[in-house]
Structure 1
Amino acid sequence: MAHLCVSGVGGWYLRAARTAEESGHPVPEGATMECCLEYLYKYEVRPTWIRYGHTAYLGAPAGDGSALPGPLLGVWSCHHQRLVLPGDELWGHAKLGFRSSLGMSLTCKDHLAHLHWIKANGLHNAAREALSPDHPVRRLLKQHYYGTGEINFSSKDMLLPVGQFAHRTFALSDAGWVSYFTDVVRDFKYESLPQSFAARGLPQSFLDAWPVSADGLRLWNCIGAYVRSFISLFYPSGDAQVAADAELVAFWAHFEGQIDQGWCLPPLSFDSLVTLLTDLIWWVTGGHEFVGAIVEYLTPPDGLPGKIIDGRCDVDVQTYAQALVIIALTGIGQPSLMSDWTHLFHVPSWPKDVQQSALEVVRQFQSNLASCADEAEALNDTREKRGERKFVAFNPRLLETSVSI
């Protein structure tokens, strides 16, 4: 469980632990980090199943330059309104409940709603509807929205409606399901990846060693350098040229009309454009691998169960079967990120010197991705020698170029 919260998918929720006063309930003594999923508790569930809503508490990490997690100190269960500690009769049940809450939130909010339906869909629609086919930003993004429209269109019928597969896999009632997705879309707020890590309140020494942050930002910076180099070819004067491009202005504005409250993007500038494009590409490549490629967590019956029965430490057969069906349905990959994409940048309408420079930037990106992968693999060797888990979610050699089914 501690490794799940630090070097596994639970790490997406890892942050500095709140005090008892801040959280409104008891907190284990010595807790320094938490993975909080208590927001789920308010959503009604069907009979038989417990309500979601748990927080896992960890002690201080090793502090020796590694990201070895501290011990799992306790789990707060909203359903039981109780802090469950190691050795309590509900300890196994509380840990299973936390994993169920984690699987629900990661799959339905982070993967399905925020990544597929808002971020990937937003990238796809803004690029195709606001930018002409030869616009440099559309060419830059083209490989990263490959297949996105078809995948997301299919998911809205198979997964979203009440009574369909996703609803049956998880525990929410009809009303709870509708309320949940209404809220997670309404509450979406764009922030860059560096902003997300900075807001967690974790010590910088831990962030520097923590695989989710260190490897995630390494990939983000690699993508960012590529985006900046590419955009500089077409907007060498920076902000003034960006602001004068009517298609870019329309592209930027498109995000504000995609959901009711909009993305609330910062004003359009050269730097804000580079940051947004970097985030979008990161999310449909590395981000999707992290929150979406969870086969290893669904294969064990008690991994990340969709729903659990009160008091039990095991999972019913139907819930486990539904997890296996999810694995079967989501095993179709997309083309590799590390591949030859130069055919997208042979654009006759571009000046020949700009076209050649763009091809050189694209080829350099592939070289930089290989170096990024080499660094990640070498670092994993070091991690394993000091007792940490291998972390591969942001290794470019494993990444697809766009979201997969």
Structure 2
Amino acid sequence: KDCVVDYLVQQAQITDADITIELFQALIDGTDGISSLIINCVTAWVKQPGMSDKLASIRDSPDAFVDQFINEVERVYTAGPNHEYARVLTKTTFTTPKSSFSLTKGQLVVVFTESINEDVTVWSNPTSFNPSRFENGTPEPYKFTSFNLLQLVNRAQGVREEFTKAVLRSNMLSLLTCMWQMVPLQSYELSEHTVSNPTPVGQLMAVSYHKRHGLSANSVTTAGNPQDWKFLEQPEAKEYRQSVESLGEAFEDCRLDFWTHAMIQAVKNRSLVWRQPTARAEITLPKYQKVLEKVTLSGTNIEVPVEDEDTGNDLNFAQAHTFNLLRDLAPLIDNMDATWLPGEDMEGYVMGKVGMMWPRVNVHWNDRYSDRALELIAFNGVGQHLLTKLPEAHEDGSYYTIALEFMYGLAVREGFANYGGDAFFTQEGKVVKIVYGGEEYLSDNEQWEHIKMAFRGSLLARVTALDHLLGTHVTVANYLTTASREQLPPDHPLRRLIKPFTFRSVAINYSAASVLFWPKGMVDRAFAFTHESLENVWAYGLKHFSYEPFPEFVANQKIDTVELPFHQDGMDYWTICHAFVSKYVDLYFSSEEQLIRDAAVASFWQFLVEKVPVPKFPTLSLDNLKNFLAHGIFLVSAIHNHVGSIAEYVSDPAFCPSAWVKGELAGRPPTCVRAALIMAAAGLPQPSILEDFSHVMLDDDAKSICQDFTAALVKHQNVVDERNAKRVQPFQSFNPKMMEIAVSI
């Protein structure tokens, strides 16, 4: 596509000599001057009184005001160089209010031209931002510095100033066709005047940048309010946010159905009485060994126990009765007339319903919709574990992929778009294309923004349904818990080792079976799948479930041109887990023979052979036992954090919606609030993996090994913090300070 320079050349307004000089100047000085003016066009647009409304009024037919606005930006936000050197031609005497001084002929002087733009003898009310002062054109060069001065001193034809004007005019016309929201608490104060090209301190931050639609009242607004932004940046939502839908608001808001309004109140009431458990107080010694009563998970053959030795039943009778009654009696209604109002703060709407219950936010995403954001999700975010190298690179540079197109064939309810999409990236991590519904989409396709959103939403649907609920909850945590409590006596060393890492797993999985998986449960209502297609989702997940140690998993991804934070932090955490388990197992089993002769261990292993859905479960050995237990701890702590603590992806309906309509750029209000309810209900804080759980162990040697494990995690936390300080995007999945000890919620 032609750029500004191409156009100027085609119009014979710039010559090869001009281009040569400008390129040389760019090599010497860089382009900071133009860059700062582009930034400060936005600064003035947002900050200066009346400018936003004025620009909104002329954006459909830009007129001379755009040039006047640019001139005033150049005057007020002077970009360097803002001084000129010269030799005195004749002896000159200057008189000031305090004294007089003389300059001799030939003396070198520096003229700080910026001061002219602030001189009251040159400009009327110079501190006021007033584009109308340029209604009659640009004033004589000596007034309008340091830009027009170039015409006199350096370049008689003034090409540089015209080139700058062309770039700024092109930038303004582009901005007038778009909409965006500035971040609250944004500082518009400029950096110190010692900087040649001052811009706002910390630079400008914006969200929701997209093409303007006809109904918008203005191009730029503020995203939410300062409290919203402060809340999202903090680790514990409850400290900063008390927003929740009132009963009065429930009656007034007809976009949500009765079930959604009622569940908001039910989840709120549960969060109000929740008290965070601690490892020392709540993780108790094992109580019994027995066959546990179970229920079968809807749509699968997975059996989930109903009695938890840690807490009994997680839900008291009244709560369980309320949740189940709402599930069974309230119809599943898709109100396709429930849409967003023009310019509505969609994230603010969702958080206004569930903000009080919102869980910890691990990473705040400023950039959510760009190509770069998609690349960060794949190489620095929640998509890393699904990234794989292609068997052969494509001619267009595609080298890696995240494959979700298998989801396109899953049936969805009427009115919703299909899930799916395979995203392809270069070996440097740049997005190349997305194949969705069998069609290839590139960045210049008019549907590109929608296709990216569909892929992001599909990714979160897959991660939530398969990796989080099916994988870590009802497969890994469920079978690890059931096998240990049915097959190992309370005083068996393996039972003691496993106990802290299965805390409340029975309670939460039994609750999930009823509230999430059951027909018309929260998964049915938040996502677009038909309940029948959800059974296909579970079947697909179990068929492709793997339980390979993390080093093997990393090797199978074949990532060979970049280092993923998922691998870097994950390998360190895996090593810590494996060393911990190895020392513990060696404490009680000195040989293969001793291990195999242990009848309880043999029964425990046989249970896993029969239940864990892998093609070939390994035979019992010391190495295989260590790998299994280390990987189990790895999955229920770190991977559960990676695929479950994803509040930052869910709050914005335009980021990673749980369901959407074809062609739209955000999920609809009902499904977005329901998805947020799942996140809120699953966000009650649990014991940290950094807490001391050694009291559960049989003897002092075992307790010492556990305490060494905790100490190693503290060191690892510091390593991850140091890495995150240097990363383009923090990655917290393997940061122990963000990690809970078990699948407890």
Paired residue for 2:384?
A: 11
Bigger-Rg structure (1/2): 2
Q: Residue 221 of structure 1: CA displacement?
A: 0.7
Q: How many residues align?
A: 372
Paired residue for 1:233?
A: 587
Paired residue for 1:390?
A: 730
Q: Distance in 2 between matches of 1:93 and 1:86?
A: 11
Given the alignment, which residue of 391, 399, 402 partners 1:35?
402
Q: Distance in 1 between matches of 2:614 and 2:459?
A: 27
Given the alignment, which residue of 702, 708, 712 partners 1:364?
708
Paired residue for 1:73?
A: 432
Q: Mean alpha-carbon deviation: is it higher for 89-98 or for 162-171?
A: 162-171
- Is 1:103 equivalent to 2:437 in the alignment? no
Task: Report the TM-score when normalising by structure 2.
Answer: 0.49
Same amino acid, percent of matched pairs: 29
Letter in 2 for 1:356: D
Letter in 2 for 1:367: A
Paired residue for 1:257?
A: 610
Paired residue for 2:424?
A: 57
Letter in 2 for 1:368: A
Q: Distance in 2 between matches of 1:149 and 1:262?
A: 22
- Is 1:174 equivalent to 2:510 in the alignment? no
> Aligned to 2:517, what secondary structure does the other structure show?
coil
Q: Distance in 2 between matches of 1:110 and 1:369?
A: 24
Paired residue for 2:641?
A: 289
Paired residue for 1:64?
A: none
Paired residue for 2:121?
A: none
Q: Residue 9 of structure 1: CA displacement?
A: 0.4
8 A Cα contact 1:31 1:73, kept in partner: yes
Q: Residue 358 of structure 1: CA displacement?
A: 1.2
Q: Distance in 1 between matches of 2:704 and 2:645?
A: 32
- Give ranges in structure 2 of 5+ residues lacking alignment: 1-373
Q: Structure 1, residues 142-201: CA drift from partner, whole Å, max 9, x if none?
A: 000000001000100111122221011111123212222133224323222111111112
Task: Report the TM-score when normalising by structure 1.
Answer: 0.88
8 A Cα contact 2:658 2:667, kept in partner: no
> Aligned to 1:2, what secondary structure does the other structure show?
helix
Paired residue for 1:217?
A: 571
Paired residue for 1:321?
A: 673
Q: Distance in 1 between matches of 2:683 and 2:619?
A: 39
8 A Cα contact 1:17 1:57, kept in partner: no
Letter in 2 for 1:89: E
8 A Cα contact 1:122 1:258, kept in partner: yes
> Aligned to 2:586, what secondary structure does the other structure show?
helix
Letter in 2 for 1:146: F
8 A Cα contact 1:16 1:201, kept in partner: yes
8 A Cα contact 1:255 1:262, kept in partner: no
Q: Structure 1, residues 250-284: CA drift from partner, whole Å, max 9, x if none?
A: 1111112325x567321111010000000100111
Q: Distance in 1 between matches of 2:619 and 2:645?
A: 34
Q: Structure 1, residues 278-321: CA drift from partner, whole Å, max 9, x if none?
A: 01001111010000000000011122211111111122111221
- Give ranges in structure 1 of 5+ residues lacking alignment: 21-26, 62-69, 348-354
- Is 1:116 equivalent to 2:468 in the alignment? no
Q: Mean alpha-carbon deviation: is it higher for 46-55 or for 115-124?
A: 46-55
Q: Distance in 2 between matches of 1:262 and 1:13?
A: 19
- Is 1:271 equivalent to 2:623 in the alignment? yes
Letter in 2 for 1:339: E
Q: Distance in 1 between matches of 2:676 and 2:725?
A: 31
Letter in 2 for 1:12: H
Which protein, 1 or 2, shows the higher relative CO under an 8 Å CA cutoff with sep ≥ 6? 1
Q: Structure 1, residues 183-234: CA drift from partner, whole Å, max 9, x if none?
A: 322432322211111111221x63xx31001111111110110000011110
